[in-house]
């Protein structure tokens, strides 16, 4: 590792806390401001996301081979949420509706199209989750996007 310029960028530890939504608003705002102008840190954030999701998957008690991974039922809901795109990074937040959820994912109605494979953060009333966009199709006066949520925690 190179210690040079390290202090000017976001700590790996803070990137983890940011993804896990364990930081207060001032820290999140500071990181948002940095990510808005620092492509390398956005790449590192995406890398930490993959790493944390992978570690959580390794630690989960699901049988190897991922048998029955999609067997969880979808539940229709209608919840407001704030959606932010983390990679490619944007500091703006969209007001969206969550239309259904399942254990590993959700479907959201958005005013604007989302690009498949983008990393996003979704803030609902009682939770904040990161995930990646699986698909996005026109629906009504907006779009429906399927999101696979990333679980950073051992189950």
Footprint of Zn ion (CB under 5 A) = 9, 38, 41
CA distance 122 to 106: 10
Please, which residue, 89 or 94, has the CB nearer to Zn ion?
89
CA distance 35 to 30: 9
95, 82 contact by CB (below 8 A): yes
Please, which residue, 41 or 98, has the CB nearer to Zn ion?
41
Shortest distance (Å) from residue 6 CB to Zn ion: 10
CA distance 9 to 38: 8
Please, which residue, 41 or 83, has the CB nearer to Zn ion?
41
Shortest distance (Å) from residue 8 CB to Zn ion: 7
Shortest distance (Å) from residue 45 CB to Zn ion: 9
**Residue whose tokens read 């996003």:** 120
Please, which residue, 36 or 80, has the CB nearer to Zn ion?
36
Shortest distance (Å) from residue 34 CB to Zn ion: 6
Please, which residue, 49 or 151, has the CB nearer to Zn ion?
49
Shortest distance (Å) from residue 18 CB to Zn ion: 12
């Amino acid at each position: 590792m190179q210690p040079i310029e390290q202090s000017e960028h976001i700590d790996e530890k803070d990137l983890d806390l940011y993804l896990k939504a364990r930081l207060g608003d001032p820290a999140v705002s500071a990181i948002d401001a940095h990510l808005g102008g620092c492509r390398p840190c956005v790449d590192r954030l995406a890398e930490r996301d993959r790493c944390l999701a992978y570690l959580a998957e390794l630690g989960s008690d699901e049988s190897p081979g991922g048998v029955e991974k999609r067997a969880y039922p979808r539940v229709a809901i209608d919840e407001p949420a704030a959606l932010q795109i983390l990679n490619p990074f944007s500091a703006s937040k969209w007001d969206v509706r969550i239309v259904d959820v399942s254990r590993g994912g959700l479907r959201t109605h958005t005013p604007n199209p989302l690009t498949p494979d983008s990393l996003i953060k979704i803030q609902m009333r009682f939770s904040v989750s990161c995930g990646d966009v699986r698909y996005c199709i026109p629906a009504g006066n907006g779009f429906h996007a399927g999101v696979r949520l990333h679980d950073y925690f051992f189950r």
